[in-house]
């Protein structure tokens, strides 16, 4: 776990695996469901992604 990203609210990235792809936010069944329209995040390109709607952070863990 790196603490390099300091310009963002203290929020742990949510770990996702390739089994979770394609990654969408809110994730199915998540408490955030209904917070905003579902958006697909291209996490496989960079290994991490931030939802443009709610700022949720995701990190690919494998």
Q: Which residues bind Zn ion (CB under 5 A)?
A: 25, 51, 53-54, 56
CB burial of 45-62 (b: ≥16 within 10 Å; e: otherwise) equals eeeebbbeeeebbbbbee
Nearer to Zn ion, 47 or 52 (CB): 52
Least gap, CB of 51 to Zn ion (angstroms): 3
Query: Least distance in Å: CB of 39 to Zn ion?
Result: 7
Residue 53 beta carbon to Zn ion: minimum distance, rounded to whole angstroms: 4
Cβ(13)–Cβ(59) below 8 Å: yes
């Amino acid at each position: 776990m790196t603490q390099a990203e300091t310009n963002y609210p203290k929020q742990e990235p949510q770990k996702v695996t390739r089994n979770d792809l394609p990654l969408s936010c809110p994730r199915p069944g998540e408490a955030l469901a209904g917070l905003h329209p579902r958006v697909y995040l291209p996490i496989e390109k960079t290994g991490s992604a931030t939802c443009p709607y709610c700022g949720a952070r995701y990190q690919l863990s494998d």
